[in-house]
């Protein structure tokens, strides 16, 4: 099993953590991870974009000029796509971009993403992430102490509003719970900081 250092919130090493190879040391399959990221991004799209066709824009009831004898191209309406203020030809209409992956593939993608973080020395485990008050400075000091700069994903074991709101004031930092992490967020951070309890929960669910 892979072993990583266990830190406290002050950045001091207080022990080590054994990471299950079934979750944190699997083969990274780029094609599977790519599919998972693509599915995630597609599912974030609302699909509400819409343009007006020539039948939906107002006006255009009168024929611009007679059919023959003017020397100009025939026109039936001033709301055809080639006219200013005309409708849009083949424009987007509301649609669903929803796509899905089977459960086994999603799990494999997430395990591959987590494994890449461990292999790249971008995975930090803290014994407990807590806060007695809403204090951004405390959370910023914790991240700085463990070397988490830039984009950081903080994974918590349980809901803690004080921790989440304190972290939300720090630029580039995103929080998630052990049961809500996804491949995109894991790959999109330069450092993944997880509470020991969150690591245990992830292992319990994904090592099966």
Q: Return the pLDDT at 1.
A: 76
30/81 same-domain check: no
140/180 same-domain check: yes
φ, ψ of residue 25 in degrees (nearest 5): -145, 40
Partners of residue 19 on adjacent β-strands = 2
61/150 same-domain check: no
Of 91, 114, 146, the position where a domain reaches its end is 91
17/110 same-domain check: yes
Overall domain count for the chain:
2
Distance of CA 29 to the CA centre of its chain: 19
Q: What CATH number has the domain bearing residue 103?
A: 3.40.1370.10
Q: Return the pLDDT at 3.
A: 87
Would you say the C-alpha torsion 19, 40, 181, 163 has a positive or negative sign?
positive
Q: Would you write out the chain's pLDDT as a tens digit for each of its 208 residues?
A: 788 999 999 999 999 999 999 999 999 999 999 999 999 999 999 999 999 999 999 998 899 999 999 999 999 999 999 999 999 999 999 999 999 999 999 999 999 999 999 999 999 999 999 998 999 999 999 999 999 988 999 999 999 999 999 999 999 999 999 999 999 999 999 999 999 999 999 999 998 7
23/64 same-domain check: no
174/108 same-domain check: yes
22/85 same-domain check: no
Partners of residue 43 on adjacent β-strands = none
Partners of residue 5 on adjacent β-strands = 16
φ, ψ of residue 136 in degrees (nearest 5): -65, -35
18/79 same-domain check: no
Of 60, 75, 91, the position where a domain reaches its end is 91
Of 62, 91, 120, the position where a domain reaches its end is 91
40/140 same-domain check: yes
122/65 same-domain check: no
134/59 same-domain check: no
164/111 same-domain check: yes
- DSSP notation for 136-189: HHHHHHHHHHTT--SSEEEEESS--HHHHHHHTTSTTEEEEETTT--HHHHHT-
- Domain extent for 84: 51-91
């Amino acid at each position: 099993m892979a072993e990583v250092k266990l830190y406290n919130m002050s950045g001091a090493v207080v022990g080590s953590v054994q990471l299950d190879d079934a979750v944190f040391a699997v083969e990274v399959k780029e094609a599977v991870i790519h599919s998972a990221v693509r599915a995630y991004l597609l599912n974030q799209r609302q699909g509400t974009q819409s343009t007006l066709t020539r039948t939906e824009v107002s006006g255009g009831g009168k024929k611009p000029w007679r059919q023959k004898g003017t020397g100009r191209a025939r026109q039936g309406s001033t709301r055809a796509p080639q006219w200013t203020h005309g409708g849009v030809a083949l424009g987007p209409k509301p649609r669903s971009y929803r796509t899905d992956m089977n459960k086994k593939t999603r799990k494999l993608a997430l395990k591959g993403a987590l494994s890449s973080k461990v292999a790249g020395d971008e995975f930090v485990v803290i014994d407990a992430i807590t806060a007695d008050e809403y204090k951004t400075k405390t959370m910023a000091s914790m991240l700085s102490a463990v070397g988490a700069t830039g984009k950081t994903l903080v994974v918590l074991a349980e809901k803690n509003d004080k921790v989440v709101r304190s972290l939300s004031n720090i630029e580039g930092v995103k929080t998630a719970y052990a049961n809500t992490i996804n491949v995109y967020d894991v790959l999109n951070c330069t450092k993944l900081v997880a509470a020991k309890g969150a690591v245990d929960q992830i292992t319990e669910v994904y090592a099966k």
